[in-house]
Amino acid sequence: MFDRLQKPFLTVETGEAYQPIRLTYTLLKPERLSQTLESLQCVKKNNAPNTWSWYWTAECDDLHFESINDYQKNTEYPLRLASISLRENKVFINLTSFKRACLAVPFFHKVLDKTVLTIKSADFINKVFSLDERLPHGFSELFKEEELDRILHQRVDDYHKVKEKVELALSAEDAMNLLLQYTEVEAKKRLPYAERYAFDMNEKDDLDVVFLAFYIYLRGRELVAIKRWFAQVGYAVSESTEDTLAAVFGEMGVDIIE
């Protein structure tokens, strides 16, 4: 354990923890996707069919990473932030950190019309990696559709069962006790290796709130992974949520762990 405390975890070029994450979109108008993507200077077509790369330049040059201050951008060789692929009427954006995903979601929502594609989910890993650890080969090795769906549906089902009990509670005190019990149980659960975040967006939603909720969720998961890397095994999701909310609303300049 002491050796691990002295060993840093793997990070990406912009300083965040390396944590693979995949955004999945439902494609509504395939004929417009290529045209729209290739009209962006920050997106380049790859040699492989139906694949593109997203770079930190041009339209997204002002994206900000607080986790590193001394990264020197090279205008001739911009940093690749993500890979984009199309298959079976779905678009996948593969990224290597949670912060990149949190920046990608609002960016692509703005540049790609909702009539072309809509975001469906984000699949991610609840851990950080050591510098010498064998990394998964490709995102398909990381994310198993059936397992991710099972975990998501179980979480939603548990929530609805508690909600039903709360609504049938005989008093406000009983309802509050049920919520507290549910929160305590959830906080103590071991996080799965891979997990899915489902987006449920409609026209009435405040998009800033949707994007912030996604950030808070991922930031909490990232905090748990990093704290547990440094042997704080008792650090729970409830604590990470409180810490994230305090950072977002109490100290607006605080972002990602350095």
Dump pLDDT digits (tens) for 130-142.
887 776 666 666 6
Residue 159, pLDDT > 70, answer no
60: in domain: yes
pLDDT at 65: 79
Residue 252, pLDDT > 60, answer no
The larger pLDDT score, comparing residue 164 to residue 80, is at 80
Residue 158, pLDDT > 70, answer no
170: in domain: no
Phi then psi for residue 254, to 5 deg, are -85, 135
What tokens does 173 get?
A: 């005190």
Strand partners, 195: 124
What tokens does 164 get?
A: 């039903």
239: in domain: yes
Which whole-number Å values give the CA distances from 229 to 68, 127, 143, 186, in the listed order? Answer: 20, 8, 22, 20
The larger pLDDT score, comparing residue 79 to residue 157, is at 79
226: in domain: yes
List pLDDT tens digits, range 212-251.
Answer: 888 888 988 898 888 888 877 777 776 777 777 766 666 5
Residue 4's H or E segment, with its range, is helix 2-6
pLDDT at 6: 53
List pLDDT tens digits, range 55-91.
Answer: 999 999 888 877 665 666 777 788 999 999 998 889 9
Percent above pLDDT 90 for the chain: 21
Confidence of residue 187 (pLDDT cuts 50, 70, 90): low
Per-residue pLDDT, averaged over 191-204, amounts to: 79
Count up the domains in the chain and report the number: 1
List pLDDT tens digits, range 89-132.
Answer: 899 999 999 999 999 999 999 888 888 888 999 999 888 888 87
127: in domain: yes
167: in domain: no
174: in domain: no
Strands of 43-45's sheet in order across: 43-45, 51-55, 80-87, 90-95, 21-27, 117-125, 194-198
Closest CA to 25 of 37, 17, 13, 9: 37
Q: Please, what is the end-to-end C-alpha distance for the chain in angstroms? A: 21
Choice among 14-28, 44-58, 146-160, 168-182 with the minimum mean pLDDT: 146-160
Choice among 84-93, 143-152, 200-209 with the minimum mean pLDDT: 143-152
The whole-angstrom separation of Cα 64 and Cα 99 is 10
171: in domain: no
Across all residues in the chain, what is the average pLDDT?
79
Which residues in 154-171 are b (16+ Cβ under 10 Å) and which e? ebeeeeeebeeebeeeee
Which residues in 187-220 are b (16+ Cβ under 10 Å) and which e? eeeebeebbbbebeeeeeeeeeebeeebbbbbbb
Give the residue numbers spanning the domain of 43.
2-143+190-250
